[in-house]
Structure 1
């Protein structure tokens, strides 16, 4: 059900972007209200949390830990989810060719690759680590890192709010697959 809802909402937003639909007016208004509301030096660092060089090593370490704990299926699912991010995002950016909030002459802002990278890397890492921690900090930490990335991208003017939302919707089904695999790996390793 969750994956289907994400697909429907993602399709609706993509259609609005392609058709310059009515959802883009509040998207633009929200962006105008938020861009540069926080100093660039802060928002650029937040946006950088979604860089491949920052987020993917976190996932790689969690995958290595999961492999060491005998959770191959979970580690493989997390790696596959991360590999699917550019395979999905890059063609969508080319197809939609949405201009950026501060660079109307440029194209390729929809959906947000940084948001997709942050959400997938940090959440998949949290799903791999969660069964091995006494406290439940990994998922809230992943949510916070993703939210900070998204906020930095919108506040700095690197992405429209709908670009960020679309990436969250696009990657959620990938992470549901990682959660399923992590659950199976946990049962096998404890059984």
Structure 2
């Protein structure tokens, strides 16, 4: 996380100071951006423009919010159902992380006032750095993946070694089940491709500069780290241990009769 924060500070400084990194960013964007309406007809440029527009739309709140809301509801219900003590913490943190995106992005846009790639004047004192769409997609879809992993961990049955022992009846202190490594890596790869599609679409269609997208990705690391912490905290607090069933009692020895008085 420290590297992402340092990179975010560097990018913000370059954008605010009109540094060489910003100049390189603008030259790169002028060579790749395609402004205006999506061209009609059947051609490669039309297909690329439609694909880029679709990718940019995936970063909108109208798409990200329903996906995160459904995942939050499922994670909260599963955590409550298995009687996890902090079942509410990861879903609440994920929702707050997405809600914090405009709280971070809007003041930076107003403060820096960076114009858009098409040279259009800034409306209502707003700017283009960082990208709200890129930050919304990175935080929203990233939180969805983390909540899926959290739900997987709390709904898997314990391994045989985690079962209560017959002597003490108390379960040993073991970590909860985790998502299989292959599933996690596939989910991470899908998340990376999705955010790359959003970022490339925003740059290709001329909605944002490349540094706007990169700065938003660095900012999202900070917000997603809060979701990671909340999931780890909830999983570290074990759910209430089940009361062990009473085992068979050993037969009680009959008392020895006292000898008769003589």
TM-score (structure 1 length as normaliser) = 0.91
Q: For residue 122 of structure 1, what is the aligned residue in structure 2? A: 141
Contact (CA 8 Å) 1:127, 1:138: kept in 2 or not? no
1:39 aligns with 2:48: yes
Q: For residue 89 of structure 2, what is the aligned residue in structure 1? A: 73
1:109 to 128, 131, 136: 128
Query: Gaps (5+ residues) in structure 2?
Result: 35-44, 80-86, 153-178, 241-262
- 1:127-138 counterparts in 2 under 5 A? 127-131=146-150, 132=152, 134=180, 135-136=183-184, 137-138=186-187
Change (3 A) 1:190 1:126: farther
Q: For residue 180 of structure 1, what is the aligned residue in structure 2? A: 229
CA–CA separation in structure 2 for the residues paired with 1:189 and 1:159: 45
User: How far is the alpha carbon of 1:20 from its aligned partner?
Assistant: 0.9
**1:99-157 CA distances to partner (integer Å, 9 max, x unpaired)?**
11113423511000000000000000100002415522433322222111111001111
CA–CA separation in structure 2 for the residues paired with 1:90 and 1:179: 24
2:24 to 18, 23, 26: 26
TM-score (structure 2 length as normaliser) = 0.67
Bigger radius of gyration: 2
Query: Gaps (5+ residues) in structure 1?
Result: none
Contact (CA 8 Å) 1:40, 1:156: kept in 2 or not? yes
